[in-house]
Each structure stands twice: as structure tokens, then as C-alpha cells.
DNA sequence: ATTAACTTGACAATATTTGTCAATTATAGC
DNA sequence: GCTATAATTGACAAATATTGTCAAGTTAAT
């Protein structure tokens, strides 16, 4: 019951499924293979634009990939923060509060 | 029934309660008053270190202030992102999953 | 109108992120 | 063993974002 946890694993798995080389995908992305290699192994973060492109290149669901991407970005922000989980919950509450406010508009 | 929504409002309210000037607090923080002014009005983000110092200077609950600070940082990351709320939820799930994993350690 | 507190915006300094490149390691086929 | 190709690594450079300073401009009270 293995799961794709990180966006990097998702990307690598799909790239290999499609039989593409780092070099090939990197060329389409317009970066050096070194970067894509690092993204796939989680050593570097991708830019959102690159995630969008990768979804297209690898024929992955774009929304799912972006959600994955954003969630990693969020987690990165609160890494090593003891109060991170509480902050996440507060952030959610704030979003919800704003949503209900939108009724006015 | 007014609420303190932003960290800036909290800081300003408390500073005024204590009868302190921007200049005075800024000096303790070791930045120009311009920065503190901007932080209080939400035009700039504070650094975490500054939040910690401000909690001390203004005698505010440090944990609460940090939670507030982190939640704003999180929200900043997903601003303008349609999928932000979903990403937040995914981020929470991931944290929880990691928490239960910790049992092994 | 003078003064003190605060605000604003242009710019500089710093820090972080993103990228390139060359050298190295890994892997597969002779 | 060699040789080829793919991928990884790390040092460095370029680009971007953040944080800060400063001086000029408001605002508000006297």
C-alpha cells in the first residue's frame, strides 16, 4: 500500500511511466536537468508555473497537482514551528470567515 | 463587537494602551519607525524574531501572537489561489499523518 | 504656524530562491 | 573490465523578494 506522498514522487513516477528522460522534460520546462532532478527528489521547490507546465507535459490532473504543490508550500512555511498546526487551523478559520463575509458582495 | 483581526491591529491597539510611541517601540525593536508603522498597518510583514520581541515589549501572550503571525504567513502564501482552502486542508491532513507516525520514534 | 507623531515612497542592503555548469556517480550494454 | 548515457551533486551566479534607511509629506493638537 505505497502512497505518493510528495509532489516529487508523483512527478518522477509519472515521468518514468511515460518513458521520458529528465533531459527531455527539463528541456520542455526550460531548465537544466539538475533542477528537475532536484525537484523530483524534493531537494528544491518548483515554481508554480513549472507545476502547471509539468501537469501538461506529464498529463497529470492540474488541480490536484497544484493543491499538492500549495500544501507543500504551506508546510514549508511552518516547518520546525511548534505552533504550526494551530496556526493552520487559525488560517482555515480566517478563510471560512472571509467566505461567509463574501455574501455582502 | 469589533474584533482584532490582524496582527497589526493587535500590536497597534496594545501599543496605544500602553501609551508608547512608534518611535519608542521601534527603538527597542531596532528598526526605523517607518517599518513598525507599516507592520501595524499591515503593509509589511514582520519577521518572526520581531514578533517575539514585540510580545515581550508589549506584554502580549507570545504563543498567541506567534500563532497569529504564522497564520498570516500561511494565508499570504495562498493569497489569490483558488485552490488555497483545499491546499490548507491537505496540509493539515499531512501534519496529522506525520503526528501519528511519530509513535514509532 | 509650530511641533510631534505618524505615513509614504524611493531607494539600498540583505537574504532567499532559482538557475547554470562541471565534475561525479550510477546503471546498462558490450 | 570499458564505454555510453542518465542522473546526481555541489559550487557558484543570476534573479527575485524581503527588509531596512532616509527624507519628504501628512495629520492632528495646541
A62 membership: H or E segment, kind and range = helix A62-77
Q: What is the C-alpha R_g of chain B? A: 17
CA/C1' separation B65–D27 (Å): 30
Mean pLDDT score, B56-79: 96
Nucleotide nearest to A34 (CA to C1'): D8
Rounded Cα distance between A65 and A51, Å, is 7
* CB-based contact A83 B66, cutoff 8 Å: yes
Contact criterion met (CB < 8 Å) for B66 and A78: no
Pick from B27, B75, B62, B69: which is nearest to B46 by CA? B69
Reply yes or no on whether the pLDDT at B104 is more than 50.
Answer: no
Instruction: Check pLDDT > 50 for residue A105.
Output: no
Question: Could you say which of A63, A77, A99 has the minimum Cβ distance to residue B74?
Answer: A77
The reported pLDDT for the residue numbered B72 is 96
pLDDT at A3 over 90: no
Give the span between the Cα atoms of B40 and A23, in whole angstroms. 48
Are residues A92 and B81, on separate chains, in Cβ contact within 8 Å?
no
Identify all chain A residues contacting B87, using CB atoms and an 8 Å cutoff.
66-67, 69-71, 73-74
Whole-number pLDDT of residue B43 = 95
Distance A23 CA to D3 C1' (A): 20
pLDDT tens track for B8-53: 999 999 999 999 999 999 999 999 999 999 999 999 999 999 999 9
How many CB atoms are located within 10 Å of the residue B79 CB?
Answer: 8
Give the chain A residue whose CA is nearest to the CA of B95.
A85
Mean residue pLDDT across chain A:
92
Count CB neighbours of B9 within 10 A. 15
Amino acid at each position: 500500500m505505497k502512497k505518493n506522498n510528495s509532489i516529487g514522487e508523483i512527478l518522477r513516477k509519472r515521468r518514468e511511466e511515460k518513458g521520458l528522460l529528465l533531459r527531455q522534460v527539463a528541456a520542455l520546462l526550460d531548465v537544466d536537468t539538475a533542477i528537475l532532478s532536484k525537484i523530483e527528489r524534493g531537494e528544491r521547490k518548483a515554481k508554480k508555473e513549472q507545476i502547471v507546465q509539468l501537469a501538461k507535459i506529464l498529463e497529470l490532473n492540474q488541480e490536484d497537482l497544484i493543491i499538492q504543490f500549495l500544501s507543500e508550500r504551506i508546510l514549508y512555511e511552518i516547518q520546525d514551528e511548534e505552533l504550526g498546526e494551530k496556526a493552520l487551523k487559525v488560517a482555515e478559520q480566517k478563510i471560512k470567515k472571509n467566505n461567509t463575509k463574501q455574501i455582502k458582495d
